[in-house]
Chain A
Amino acid sequence: MAMGVSRTTSPAPAPPARADDRDPARLPIATADRAFEALGAACAILLGLVLVGVTAAVLLLARPSIARFGAAFVVGRTWDPVSGELGALPFLYGTAVTSAVALVLAVPVGLGVALFQSDLGPPALRRPIGVVVDLLAAIPSVVYGLWGALVLAPVLREIVEPALETYLGSLALFRGPKLGLGLLCAGLVLAIMILPTIATIAREVLRAVPTELREGGLALGATRWEVVRRIVLPHARSGITGAVLLGFGRAVGETMAVAMVVGSRAEIGSSLFAPGYTLSSVLANEFSHATSELHVAALAELGLILFVVSLAFNVGARLLVARAARRATSTTAMVAPR
């Protein structure tokens, strides 16, 4: 987050006084420094311990399920808590599909918003657009869920899904009973929710592209589109990929809104209209009422899978964003991914 702060710490305005010149009641500066350092280290270690502790606790909870199902858990297609036959594949499928739908919709729009703010839009409009995007990020996810279930789902059922079937019905993706709630609805809600993540980070990455490059392109007679297409976007590519991955990570982990609109069926179908289930939403729905030890353990194992997937995407994304920031020569470039 605050990488590079050490480079920029400003020197004290007065010339640094020697320790023995100072108020004798003060702690010697070296002691204070050491104490502060130790405090910081303790906080950092604590954070690491929390991460390890959480992982260990979930792993412990998941043990009966890991022992019972082994690797077959990940490819098991049935989720039946009553009979004790439990497999994770429907949730992996649902998570992948809803996140993919969200990305397909949110990436072009998010990138468009970011480009509008960094290169294309009139300066007077750039800031208001940024504020709107930030506001979108401030809406609690349960509100998105409510909106999705009460407003979006009927619209999908009555208008969007019949239209999709009419025009794209030759694809199995856009056929089937139209319920409103389902993978498509969850994907749409997620798209809106990850839009701010993608747009804000992409904007920072694009702004970090040195002005000299843009000006050079323009001086050579390139149009604004050519500058964006040939200079800005290629330069910011890894940062944008990072933004997309962070958005994906958020879509994978999003729980409440998805639980309210995904339709909650642990099944793998071919249609986007069909209800599905995601890793995080099944945890939210079933954990409090899971009675058998095996059911609890299987849910914990789903949690573990979710944890690993989200961690992988977050680490990957952060590496890419950091690389993009390093590549940018501009000193103002510092991305603070949330």
Chain B
Amino acid sequence: MQRYLVELPSIRDDDNGFLYLFKLANEICSNPVRHFDFNFKNCSVLDQNAVAMLGGLARYVDSYNTGNLGLFGIASKCGVMFQVDTMSQLIREQLIENNFLSHFSRESFPGYPKGDYIGYRQHLDFLDPSEIALHLSEQWLTDEKIKLSEELKQAIVSRIIEIFMNAYGHSFKDQNSPIILISCGQYLRKEKKIKLTVLDFGCGIIENVKSHLNNYIDDNEAMKWALKTGNSTKTDSIEIDIPRGLGFGLLSEFATVNKGELRVFSNSCEARAIGNNSYSVSSIKTPFKGTLVNISINCDGRYYSFVSETANGKQYF
């Protein structure tokens, strides 16, 4: 079995961080039937986008291999090994606290996160949206970790659920790829911000749109089509023709009103929320086969207004 050493640098939630992660994803996904060793000696920062991607890549490789997955301290024949002994104490503690290492290790690490991270999660088959809602409200956004008004908490949980359900749909629709839906969140105490990355290794939004519309459309246009309110590739498994296509519009509006940030990477494009249910779409240097949604939410109630989020909408009830 061919071995491949990945020497991870520091990876932040910024343009350079995403560029590195997509290059890494392409390298690994181009030939996943290898053994990958991840060395952390040059890594002093791992933001939530990096943690989510590392977990996703490990599961992706696992789905192509025989099940010998990254066991701590044990050299498996194939799969992924995160070399814990090369991690700084800070990184190691973070990856324990956010529950990441417990997924890739036989050692039992104590408890759920008590630090600034708000948790690594993976959904490899069925997504139970109620379970996600409970997890978000009762484990992530507890009063001990973060003070939120009940309204803002409801709004945040509701919008994050939209992200998960969209991602699960994209992942589920591509029957040629394994269902791998990964998320990782991080709470920045000083800035009072939550950052969350949700990614899947499905065929991507643009490929879904092209297949759904069954005609030629360029990548940027396909991405714009997917993000437009009311448009949907029907990624859920419901056969009946019901209205859909509100998720991305709601997220754009929420991120803008909240003065947060929302970025969606899929295939060859990136979309950034710019308000009014709309996005700016641009090409990215290194395409990503799946879809990655990255959101930054202000947890200070001053940054949220119900009035402005609905200013243009008609009130039926």
Verify that A and B bind, or say they do not.
Answer: no
A residues whose Cβ falls under 8 Å from a Cβ of B: none
| Interface residues in chain B, defined as those with a beta carbon under 8 Å from any beta carbon in chain A | none
